[in-house]
Structure 1
Amino acid sequence: MASLGSVEWRAICDKFTTAQNLTEVESRNDPENDPFRSKYKARELLREIYCSLKNFEACEGEDDSGGSSAESGDQRPSEDPVDGQTDDGYDRGFSGDSPAGLRASKLGAVEYYLGVNHVDTEELSAGQEHLMNCMKLLERCRVSPENVSLFIHVRNQLGILWAGRDETETAQGFLETAESIYQRYIKEEGSPPTDMTEYFTTEANLLTHQDRTKRFELAYTHTMYYLAQVYKNLGQTERAATYCHSTLQRQLRLNQYNPMEWALNAATLSQYYITKGRYMEGRHCLSAATVISALAGEAPSEAAAQESETECERREQLRQKRADIARCWIKYCLNLLQDAKKLLEDNIGELDVDRQEELKRARRGEEEEEEKGRKSALLFGSEDTFDSIASLEEKVRFLIPLDFTEARAVFLVGQTYVTQAKDYFQIDGYVTDHIEILQDHSALFRALAFFEEDLERRCKMHKRRVDMLEPICLDLNAQYYLLIRRQLMFELAEIYNEMMDLKLSLANRQADTQSLDNHTIKKFNHLCSASAKYFQMFLDSLCSPEGKFPEHLEEEVLRPALVAQFRVARLYSRLISTSPSAQMDNLDKSLNCYKYVVQYCEAHPEAAAAVETELELSKEMAGLLPLKINRLKAKMVVNSCPSELTDCV
């Protein structure tokens, strides 16, 4: 190649620097009606560089038979079915620092930059062609410190390109090859390699050892990030989570991240860990997300400094994203409480005290060992953020709560984040989001109530749920929010049903000392009627505009509809009435609902599997209730007879 001090070579370097500036800086200011203006200019400069390099190569090729032979294409390796390579480039071709290898690397770099340019300007086929040209040029080289960065970058770009076409397995091949090249290079070489930009830089402007390391590690971080997306699309969720976690760790270590984007990715990763019951990992991700998101309002990182939104838009986006992170915290607390409930409940849904004591004994002495054993691989952050993340982690437990005190601590954390999330997602403008947050708040109360031994206090917790959901349910427009209203109606019906059962349990405890007073009966009937009312509202929402109930229930409402019919039947049969005629009316309604469940499942046998327990009880009650109704009728007849006829009887 021509001397670095030559006029021609300096011209090439200047053109490359200008092309980079056009691509990375000037393009941000391109007008909307000509969004790729700067990149088109950069493309022309890259083409000029390519032509100059080919001219240099032609001149020097006269004295380099090896180079001309390779250029002629007479020696073509057999292609790998994935990315067109025979291997990872370590075992054949020119050495990276040989004249022929260096020429191939520089031409390959220009092809790479042209490929990226075409992809950025939405000319994917042309971009693919240039990237594959780069691959073919690299076939002539072994991986070395001079070209390993280019080996990885071009495969990263091809991975992105094929992933964008939903050719996930093809993308996987390119990216996994890039990963293996990096790992082998680090193992065998270890020193920071030449960056591609240094191919076209004067000696005075070469990168420092530190900058080379940073750029090379960042290229591999991108490989891991893209592989995380690929594995997710392939359904390999555990592998995807591992790569995502490592990517986030590397971004922090290299200080190459947008704080809010990083925080959202960490919060999203926490949701995967939560669904797997890995609450230590979930808590660490959320704590780190909260701490790092706070940096977005302070001194921005290098990546964040490139943002172009107005300050007002930026502040609004930050508020929303912090509210999204708060919602992830709510899910963390809710899932932790719900998993505790599943672990501790007996076969009737109450707290299993023996199981509780067994778990408490087993836990003693294990907490520290479990935390030490798993935490070392998790850590995010640097010296500046470690303490802040650890401090936040200490405020919420990751172990399953085993009693009311522990459960309440988790509940209070969740409730704090409910307030934060609602502050942004208000009912005016964010109806769906606001209601989902309210539903999560209701679910937090329900999970906490499971641990409460005092039935009166437990009932008050359910009343809090009614107070937050009922006004919203009644005010929602049925035309626009039908599905949400159905959810709320069904939940309210279940809450009133739980409160009714609690009142009945309290009454049964007091039965030995006193009979039910009128106030207790009135309260019980109110809760019973309210539950039946919301179940019926749910059923009515399934009717046609003419008010006709559907003959065939769609799959998404099949079980809820049949359960609602079953619950209404049960509720009418439990109403307490001193009037025989009112009691008779309630029993008739109850019988009709039980019969509906039985008859629907007979007409649609496939529905039976969705309501096995309810169907069995409905059949039983459909047989027993007529007997009870007949006895009540007979009693009413006797009571209605004149006294002399009664005496005769």
Structure 2
Amino acid sequence: MASVNSDEWRAVCEKFTNAQNLTDVESLNDPKNDPFRSKYKARELLREIHCTLKSFEAVDEESGTERRQPPEEEEAAAVVDGQHQDVSVEGLCGDSPAGMRAAKLAAVEYYLGVNHIDTEELPAGQEHLGNCMTLLQKCTVTCYNVSLYIHVRNQLGILWAGYDETEKAQGFLETAESNYQQYMKDDGSPPIDMTEYFGTEENMLTHQERVRRFELAYTHTMYYLAQVYKNLGQTERAATYCHSTLQRQLKLNQYNPMEWALNAATLSQYYITKGRYMEGRHCLSAATVISGLAGDIPSEAAAQESEIESERREQLSQKRAEIARCWIKYCLNLLLDARKLLEDNIGDIDSDRQEELRIARRRAEEDEEKGRKSALLFDSEDTFDSIASLEEKVQRLFPVDFTEARAVFLVGQNYVTQAKEYFQMDGYVTDHIEILQDHSALFRVLAFFEEDLERRCKMHKRRVDMLEPICNELNAQYYLMIRRQLMFELAETYNDMMDLKLALANRQADTESLDSHTIKKFNLLCTSSVKYFQMFLESLRSPEGKMPEHLEEEVLRPALVARFRVARLHSRLITSSPTVQLDNLNKALENYKYVVQYCEAHPEAGAAAETELELSMEMAGLLPLKINRLKARMALNN
């Protein structure tokens, strides 16, 4: 191998430095019509380095002797905390000169592989990474090459994941993880970074920088494994690795604040679905605090003056709105889970369960510190106080009454306002409507906790006011699925309001005693519910106007429920006209029969709407008797 003082070796080092600069710096300024110009130049330099190293190897083989490594490699291994020590690479790493030469060639193959992948030439990139692996097989894992071992396996993991070969990706990444853990157990000293293979005495890395780069490589391993486990459906494992990744990024101070915050907010959604609200709230609080480190959103005036500021404004606004949406889900799910625990079999609050939940709440509050110790939380001294302060503003325990539920609702509603500021109807139709649907769901679950029926009815009216205009304005061709969701929700909301209005009239069994105003209001709500259920059913028709003989799985239950509800609503309409009443009963019977006949023709459909089918069968038998009695009375009167 050429001496460090030789012109040949200095030329190699200079080419490597230039290749790194082209890849990491110059490429950022490449024109759009030639986006890989700098990386192609870097590739040529890497190829030249590869040829030079092969020629050095040939000379050494011809000489028949193992030459001592150049002094710059000894320097690379011996610099600790900036202080030079008289220790050779061989003595420090326990590797042979042949192994070190192989590692150098492997490093060039690695950089060539990454270069080809960056320029979208995946087969060539795979080949170079494979060459790197083959060369490393000649070496034992030491402080000289362990970093390269991990980097190449990380890249192969990414590559195979991109090919949807998830299990192959898993194998490479888990081996990288094992390499790190075994090395830290056996040695633990900060290893040589492969950039130092081609460095000079002046630019050797310090102890701290070696530690940082090695730990960052392992952090990437953890991050990629989190994605792999998620794709394999191992959600618990994926969440654990994602948390570890975020924790390591904080510790190493190597993260983009907005990207970190968005990843933490996304992780919160997993914890929420598992009912782990301590971790969910902590992730969201950390996301909010860390996102603040990205700085203020530029003013509109500044954004208009500068393209960079405009892009930054867009990114900051979007990511903070996405974090706000995660907060909405937190509040909504906390309320929904509380309702599941408190709800009796007719949809009201069970007072016994309410008291049980209060007792459980007190125990949980007493064990708060114990719960925090067992939870996966971020250990960050710099932001701990800010995160804890934000956590205190949002409860994590299930609300047991309206006052507590309203406090959660108001937090969610505040984030609804924040999210809508960015995801406006003009430009973000789907996102805007999803936020409105979450807002509606917040009102719906809050109404469950409200004892005053009049106020509960007003909450449902708020839902109608926010969803009805959107539903009627949406283009049916482009937003069919969303319109169906809105129509069904509006139908159910009007139905809930109808029940509440009747309850407000003291649930009188004798409808004739109801005053005309109440009857008019009741019928209006009833027909409004029917209208939206019918609109939903009409949306199922083919372009030729025919109802489908076979309902697709995604609309099977909603369609059968809509038919059942339409039947029930028609039978509940209040009228003094026997003719109108007969018409309503016939429409009710027609829809009940549809549910029964469809499930008879498609036996598998019965499982999708068991309760509705059972009641429809019962009503399909009873209604004809009622219709015949009404006809008989009408005949007598005539």
TM-score scaled by length of structure 2: 0.90
Aligned-partner Cα distance in 2 for 1:561–1:370: 46
Contact 1:259/1:296 (<8 A) preserved: yes
Contact 2:279/2:377 (<8 A) preserved: no
Deviation at residue 381 of structure 1 after TM alignment? 6.2
Query: Which of 179, 182, 199 in structure 2 is aligned with 1:181?
Result: 179
Deviation at residue 99 of structure 1 after TM alignment? 2.0
Deviation at residue 10 of structure 1 after TM alignment? 2.1
Residue 54 of structure 2 corresponds to: 54
Deviation at residue 21 of structure 1 after TM alignment? 0.5
Residue 85 of structure 1 corresponds to: none
Deviations 1:64-116 (A, max 9, x none): 5579xxxxxxxxxxxxxxxxxxxxxxxxxx96443222222222212211221
Query: Which of 575, 578, 584 in structure 2 is aligned with 1:580?
Result: 578
Give unmatched runs, 5+ long, in structure 1: 68-93, 301-307, 641-649
Deviations 1:358-410 (A, max 9, x none): 12113313324245334565333633322222211111112222221221111
Aligned-partner Cα distance in 1 for 2:624–2:508: 32
Residue 79 of structure 1 corresponds to: none
Residue 16 of structure 1 corresponds to: 16
Query: Which of 424, 435, 439 in structure 1 is aligned with 2:437?
Result: 439
What letter is aligned with 2:399? P
Contact 1:452/1:458 (<8 A) preserved: yes
Matches within 5 A, 1:178-217: 178-217=176-215
Residue 231 of structure 2 corresponds to: 233
Contact 1:96/1:141 (<8 A) preserved: no
Classify 1:591/1:460 alpha carbon distance in 2 versus 1 (closer, same or farther; 3 Å): same
SS in 1 for 2:592: helix
Classify 1:134/1:64 alpha carbon distance in 2 versus 1 (closer, same or farther; 3 Å): farther
Query: Which of 426, 429, 432 in structure 2 is aligned with 1:428?
Result: 426
Classify 1:510/1:601 alpha carbon distance in 2 versus 1 (closer, same or farther; 3 Å): closer
Deviation at residue 509 of structure 1 after TM alignment? 5.4
Contact 1:288/1:381 (<8 A) preserved: no
Residue 495 of structure 1 corresponds to: 493
Query: Which of 99, 103, 106 in structure 2 is aligned with 1:105?
Result: 103
Deviation at residue 53 of structure 1 after TM alignment? 2.2
Deviation at residue 613 of structure 1 after TM alignment? 1.1
Contact 2:95/2:140 (<8 A) preserved: no
Aligned-partner Cα distance in 1 for 2:241–2:289: 22
Greater shift in the superposed pair: 11-20 or 601-610: 601-610
What letter is aligned with 1:436? E
Q: Does 1:636 align with 2:631?
A: no
Aligned-partner Cα distance in 1 for 2:264–2:151: 25
Greater shift in the superposed pair: 366-375 or 488-497: 366-375
What letter is aligned with 1:45? L
Query: Which of 283, 288, 291 in structure 2 is aligned with 1:290?
Result: 288
Contact 2:501/2:522 (<8 A) preserved: yes
Deviation at residue 178 of structure 1 after TM alignment? 0.8
TM-score scaled by length of structure 1: 0.89
SS in 1 for 2:237: helix
Deviations 1:613-649 (A, max 9, x none): 1111111111211222222223233334xxxxxxxxx
Contact 2:278/2:375 (<8 A) preserved: no
Residue 353 of structure 1 corresponds to: 351
Greater shift in the superposed pair: 96-105 or 527-536: 96-105
Contact 2:154/2:176 (<8 A) preserved: yes
What letter is aligned with 1:335? N
Contact 1:95/1:142 (<8 A) preserved: no
Contact 2:361/2:397 (<8 A) preserved: no
Residue 39 of structure 1 corresponds to: 39
Residue 82 of structure 2 corresponds to: none
Contact 1:15/1:49 (<8 A) preserved: yes
SS in 2 for 1:382: coil
Aligned-partner Cα distance in 1 for 2:599–2:157: 52
Residue 263 of structure 1 corresponds to: 261
Residue 137 of structure 2 corresponds to: 139
Matches within 5 A, 1:51-130: 51-62=51-62, 64=64, 96-130=94-128
What letter is aligned with 1:560? P
Classify 1:15/1:391 alpha carbon distance in 2 versus 1 (closer, same or farther; 3 Å): same
Deviation at residue 4 of structure 1 after TM alignment? 2.5
Query: Which of 568, 571, 574 in structure 2 is aligned with 1:570?
Result: 568
Aligned-partner Cα distance in 2 for 1:603–1:62: 85
Deviations 1:562-583 (A, max 9, x none): 2111111111111111222222
What letter is aligned with 1:186? M
Contact 2:297/2:316 (<8 A) preserved: no
Aligned-partner Cα distance in 2 for 1:261–1:59: 49
Contact 1:198/1:207 (<8 A) preserved: yes
State the identity %. 82
What letter is aligned with 1:245? H
Contact 1:422/1:434 (<8 A) preserved: yes
Contact 2:260/2:287 (<8 A) preserved: yes
Classify 1:298/1:624 alpha carbon distance in 2 versus 1 (closer, same or farther; 3 Å): closer
Between the two proteins, the alignment pairs up a number of residues equal to 607
What letter is aligned with 2:182? R
Greater shift in the superposed pair: 543-552 or 619-628: 543-552
Residue 331 of structure 2 corresponds to: 333
Classify 1:149/1:214 alpha carbon distance in 2 versus 1 (closer, same or farther; 3 Å): same
What letter is aligned with 1:27? S
Classify 1:101/1:42 alpha carbon distance in 2 versus 1 (closer, same or farther; 3 Å): same
SS in 1 for 2:363: coil
Query: Which of 400, 405, 412 in structure 2 is aligned with 1:407?
Result: 405
Classify 1:299/1:582 alpha carbon distance in 2 versus 1 (closer, same or farther; 3 Å): closer
Residue 84 of structure 2 corresponds to: none
Deviation at residue 294 of structure 1 after TM alignment? 2.1
SS in 2 for 1:266: helix
Residue 244 of structure 2 corresponds to: 246
SS in 1 for 2:192: coil
Deviations 1:277-309 (A, max 9, x none): 111111111111122222223699xxxxxxx97
Deviation at residue 510 of structure 1 after TM alignment? 6.9
Deviation at residue 203 of structure 1 after TM alignment? 1.6
Deviations 1:149-201 (A, max 9, x none): 11111111111122211222111111111111101111221221111111111
Residue 73 of structure 2 corresponds to: none
Give unmatched runs, 5+ long, in structure 2: 68-91, 299-305
Deviations 1:402-445 (A, max 9, x none): 22122111111110111111111111222111111111100001
Residue 521 of structure 2 corresponds to: 523
Aligned-partner Cα distance in 1 for 2:191–2:434: 51
Residue 452 of structure 2 corresponds to: 454
Aligned-partner Cα distance in 1 for 2:540–2:49: 69
Contact 1:96/1:102 (<8 A) preserved: no
Residue 79 of structure 2 corresponds to: none
Classify 1:207/1:582 alpha carbon distance in 2 versus 1 (closer, same or farther; 3 Å): same
Aligned-partner Cα distance in 2 for 1:503–1:454: 12
Deviation at residue 470 of structure 1 after TM alignment? 1.1
What letter is aligned with 1:21? N
Aligned-partner Cα distance in 2 for 1:56–1:600: 81
Contact 1:145/1:192 (<8 A) preserved: yes
Residue 320 of structure 2 corresponds to: 322
Aligned-partner Cα distance in 2 for 1:525–1:6: 97
SS in 1 for 2:472: helix
Greater shift in the superposed pair: 369-378 or 534-543: 369-378
Aligned-partner Cα distance in 2 for 1:460–1:511: 24
Greater shift in the superposed pair: 324-333 or 475-484: 475-484
What letter is aligned with 1:286? L
SS in 2 for 1:478: coil
Contact 2:444/2:459 (<8 A) preserved: yes
What letter is aligned with 1:35? P
Classify 1:480/1:448 alpha carbon distance in 2 versus 1 (closer, same or farther; 3 Å): same
Aligned-partner Cα distance in 1 for 2:469–2:440: 14
SS in 1 for 2:477: coil
